[in-house]
Amino acid sequence: MNKSKLKQTLTNLKKLLIVMVVIGAAKNAAAQQPLRVVVAGLNHDHVHGILSQYGKGKVDIVGIAEPNKQLWQKFGKIYHLPESLFASDLKQLVVQKKPDAVLGYNAVGKHLEVVEICAPLGIPVMVEKPLAATLAQAKQIEALANKYHIKVLTNFETTWYPSYADVYNTVEKDSIGRIRKMVVHDGHQGPKEIGCSPEFLSWLTDPVLNGAGALNDFGCYGADLMTWLMKGRKPIAVTAVARHYKPAVYPKVEDDATIIVEYPEATGLIEASWNWPFSIKDLEVFGETGYLHAFNNEDITSRMRENIKGSKKAGPLAEQIASPIAYLTAVLRNKLPGTDDLSSLKYNMIVMEILDAAKRSAATSKRVVL
């Protein structure tokens, strides 16, 4: 090769290297950008969480679809949101904005409507727990997700508890032997008693829009955690008792539920209530040789067969599984599969089967075999 050709080759290589660096930098910059999301609904009080994240620059909310314009004013004032961010029609908004995902903060019974709009457009959806109000709705959501190849994920507060992850990892290390019993308490004094907003209460206490009362609202946590601890295996049977302690406060739905979930080698007990004397979310796991109790999001106690007792605070979760937005970002950018975990559609279809069986069992006073 003569000097002229060599010089030209080196020049071309330099140009190619520059292009590659620019492309790499652009990709890296895109990967660092927060997700662009549309919020569907403002009548779920959990929406304060995502709006707070928006204020901190953790997520880019490009639009909020909410038909109730009084909620535009309420949240616009609290979080200093421009009116241009709001719209009444979800479909028009997502077609215009083309978000990375839509986050459902509407009535549980309306989650299907969000997926019906987003799935044909290829837009992933994450909804607040539970996945749907009924198993029939969940099956329609699953069919749409499969047909249009989109992610449909479910957000539970307890998914981001370091203590629960620590319990799971301890079980994985065979530190307490095979699981024999799981007990989950979830609830509080009642949604009205703790001051939930009127817009939230209007559907949370409605048997159609919420699918049930405390059974759906808090029973879903235990069903999700047990599905996770059982590695996505379905239970063999469910038995439930639903109680109505406060008909004057909640005339349409039960305010307390106890659910027994049977597996071939273990039993789960879900205690869900709007009648606790205080707010509680805890998890107990009994193994063949030991016991673990996550009292809250960080504190854990343990007891082994030899009466060796311990207590600790769980360490922080890895960044990509430390919050719903971090997790959703990791899934949509192919850093996590989102297929076999607490938020996955696969696990949450099992959750819906458990809740459906619990409702049937409570209504008939019979054990329901799955």
| 3-state percent helix, strand, coil for the chain, nearest multiple of 5 | 45, 20, 35
Whole-angstrom distance, CA of residue 43 vs CA of residue 324:
19
pLDDT at 2: 63
Nearest residue to 270 via CA among 234, 207, 216 = 216
Name the strand (E) or helix (H) holding 288: none
What is the torsional sign of CA 127, 128, 130, 136? Answer: negative
Whole-angstrom distance, CA of residue 164 vs CA of residue 158:
8
Whole-angstrom distance, CA of residue 285 vs CA of residue 266:
10
pLDDT at 32: 74
| 199 neighbors 43 (Cβ within 8 angstroms) | yes
pLDDT at 307: 82
pTM: 0.91
Whole-angstrom distance, CA of residue 345 vs CA of residue 130:
11
H, E, C per residue of 21-88: HHHHHHHHHHHHCCCEEEEECCCCCCHHHHHHHHHCCCCEEEEEECCCHHHHHHHHHHHCCCHHHEEC
Q: Give, for all 370 residues of the chain, the pLDDT tens digit.
A: 566 666 676 667 676 655 444 344 334 444 579 999 999 999 999 999 999 999 899 999 999 999 999 999 999 999 999 999 999 999 999 999 999 999 999 999 999 999 999 999 999 999 999 999 999 999 999 999 999 999 999 999 999 999 999 999 999 999 999 999 999 999 999 999 999 999 999 999 999 999 999 999 999 999 999 999 999 999 999 999 999 999 999 999 999 999 999 999 999 999 999 999 999 999 999 999 999 999 999 999 999 988 889 999 999 999 999 999 999 999 999 999 999 999 999 999 999 999 999 999 999 999 999 9
Task: Kindly list the distances between the CA atom of residue 343 and the CA atoms of 190, 239, 323, in Å, as whole numbers in the listed order.
Answer: 25, 24, 11
Burial per residue of 349-367, b for 16 or more beta-carbon CB atoms within 10 angstroms, e otherwise: bbbbbbbbbbbebbeeeee
pLDDT at 25: 34
